[in-house]
Amino acid sequence: MSGADTDPLERARAAAAAMRGDREALVAGLLSGAVGLDELAVGGSAHDRAAPVKAVVVAQSVQGVGKVAARRALDTVGVEEATRWGALPADTVAELLRELRAAAVAPRPGGPARSTGEGASSANEP
């Protein structure tokens, strides 16, 4: 039994590389907004892809949510950072998604106000 096809170490390396690729694609999708929060819910199209990923990685990858806000959301809901997304009960996922949704639109303390682009030039208009 020699060869890369039957070597357990090579199979494990290939599986790990595939898992890293899946995680990177999920994170990129979350950061770009291509993967939405609803897709992370239990039964959502991205839930199974997110299952092996740590909750903190998923949370801080949501577009508009930074590392600090993600950790605050996890803390508020009572989720430890090392917990895998797939290990979270459905009600906890729903609560965490609500917290992340709120964190993504909340103004940052001490930071500039977020501009929606509407009425930006109206201050100079008569």
Domain extent at residue 27:
11-106
Name the DSSP class of 64: T
Residue type, 56: V
Read off the CATH number of the domain in which 90 is found. 1.10.8.50
How many structural domains is the chain composed of?
Answer: 1
State pTM to two decimals.
0.75
Residue-wise DSSP of 41-67 = STTSTTHHHHTTSBHHHHHHHSTT--H
> Would 40 be classed as within a structural domain?
yes
Asked if the structure places residue 16 within a domain, the reply is yes
In angstroms, the CA 77 to CA 98 distance is: 10
pLDDT digits (tens, 9 = 90+) for 72-107: 999 999 999 999 999 999 999 999 999 999 998 876
The reply to whether 30 falls in a domain is yes
